[in-house]
A and B are shown apart, each in its own frame.
Chain A
């Protein structure tokens, strides 16, 4: 169980993490979401005692990271796949880390096998693709067989197969009772594996809880209708306080439920070819929730805003 309590970290005048609190429960994958620059990596560095927080605390089963005895046996982390000497072999990279805890060399070979890198154990890290380095980083995180795992954007640079493999590893870690915290700026990546979501924007908490709660709070829902008498129905729905959006063969009604629309249609003998409840994707919900806190806007939206010159 990880408890982050009112964590705050500033760099100069920049508040990277702002009074952030959340928990990560065992047996579950907790997705840590936020746009680029929202403070995910900073939070993780503060959790591991790499950066000193200005205020607040992080505890792992009640203990601060720096107070853990043999920390790698409690918490495994992957912050950046690039954190390895390019001139060392994969095996030697794991060996120097294992030495700090007195792990036997057989443990190094075990994790290499676990991440499917036994064949390239003697290859230098500099020769690896980003995907291979992510795997090696995961091997480092698993080295001490920890009950808590912290991964910062582990899917970055992976091909779809690699992403799926990472997802399966996280799932099985959580299923064996471990606490897994995994960050991403892309909800799609996590929506398939996360049980809980912690969403942040500009260092502040936006939402925390089960994925389904996040959906009902932030995802849009509407009613899709296809009908030969659509215009007549639309007039009636608007009279009941709904909003209409025309599509090619019918339209969407907002601010009303499917039940309401169905009853209005029945009461007025209107023929319906389709009546269905629709919900926006998780991605849309995420973009919606973090919209106000996106620090860097993409090229396209910048062009839209600044167009016309």
Chain B
């Protein structure tokens, strides 16, 4: 099992596409964050706690890591290597578990690198302005939620990749559903029924996990996490059963 995991990780680190997306997922948010931090000092006063600003890039990071998850599956189909993968390890559950663990490992490491960089740059920039960087209030929970969100969405991406088999289709789904389609579907539901269905939009609930404060009309952290996980679980199940059963 460990050998299959090693092989899957190696596959992900030896293609340019994954490296580029991973680079975007880590470097782009750092650049955005540092710029935000520099301009956040309006008249010498920080508008909001540093970690809140870090968390604001979480949805972007999570979606890009979702794309990395997609590629863990679709690169194999587009390049034909899936046949060799399954010939080398006919026990498909093993390959599936290895792919999930690979995706999770990449998501966690990328998030950790990102957080360390952003926090270090916070310390440097804030110190230069004689401000102390410290974790306050819900900061700890926000950081944990950041890891949670990127991990869940990367597995969401992997599952869509296994379902679609084609990169463009799965990447569209992973990017367009949270940013456009989900809002439209739940907006329509709300308009038709007159109730506020936005509250149940799964990926939006996921994005809420990383906010410092929870509004009154929003779900609690636990409820949001459950909604997100329930939604993603459907795709995880579909992806796993298709992958382990269908002809390769």
Contacts and interface: CB of A to CB of B under 8 A. Distances in A.
Query: A and B from one assembly?
Result: yes
Interface residues of B, number: 26
Nearest to B90: A66
Contact of B15 (A71, A72, A77, A88): A88
Contacts of B16: 87
Tell me what chain B mostly uses at the interface: helix, strand, loop, or mixed: helix
Contact of B11 (A48, A50, A79, A96): A96
Interface string B210-248: 000000000000000000000000000000000001011
Interface in B87-118: 87-91
Interface string A80-103: 101111111100100111011110
A97 B88 contact: yes
B84 interface: yes
B4 to A, nearest CB: 6
Contacts, number: 80
A286 interface: no
Contacts of B15: 85, 87-88
Contact of A51 (B4, B11, B248): B248
A50 B87 CA distance: 7
A79 B83 contact: yes
B87 A71 contact: yes
B196 interface: no
Given A51-B247, A52-B247, A88-B15, A77 B87 contact: yes
A95 B10 contact: yes
B217 to A, nearest CB: 48
A177 interface: no
B81 A72 contact: no
B6 A97 contact: no
A83 B7 contact: no
Given A51-B247, A52-B247, A85-B81, A71 B7 contact: no
Interface in A226-254: none
Nearest to A98: B7
B247 A71 contact: no
Contacts of B85: 100
Interface string B1-42: 001101100110011110000000000000000000000000
A72 B90 CA distance: 10
A71 B83 contact: no
A68 interface: yes
A45 interface: yes
B86 interface: yes
B80 A80 contact: yes
B86 A49 contact: yes
Contact of A102 (B3, B75, B84, B247): B3
Given A88-B15, A96-B7, A50 B80 contact: no
B40 to A, nearest CB: 40
A101 B89 CA distance: 9
A86 B78 CA distance: 10
Contacts of A140: 84
B193 interface: no
Contacts of B17: 87
B79 interface: yes
Nearest to A125: B79
A126 B18 CA distance: 17
Interface string A98-118: 011110000000000000000
26 contacts: A48-B87, A48-B90, A50-B86, A50-B87, A51-B247, A65-B90, A66-B90, A68-B90, A71-B87, A79-B83, A80-B80, A83-B84, A84-B80, A85-B11, A85-B15, A85-B79, A87-B17, A88-B14, A92-B14, A95-B10, A96-B11, A96-B14, A97-B88, A99-B6, A100-B4, A101-B88
Interface of B: 3-4, 6-7, 10-11, 14-17, 75, 79-81, 83-91, 245, 247-248
Given A49-B86, A92-B14, 9 more contacts: A45-B247, A50-B248, A72-B87, A82-B80, A83-B80, A84-B84, A85-B14, A96-B14, A100-B4
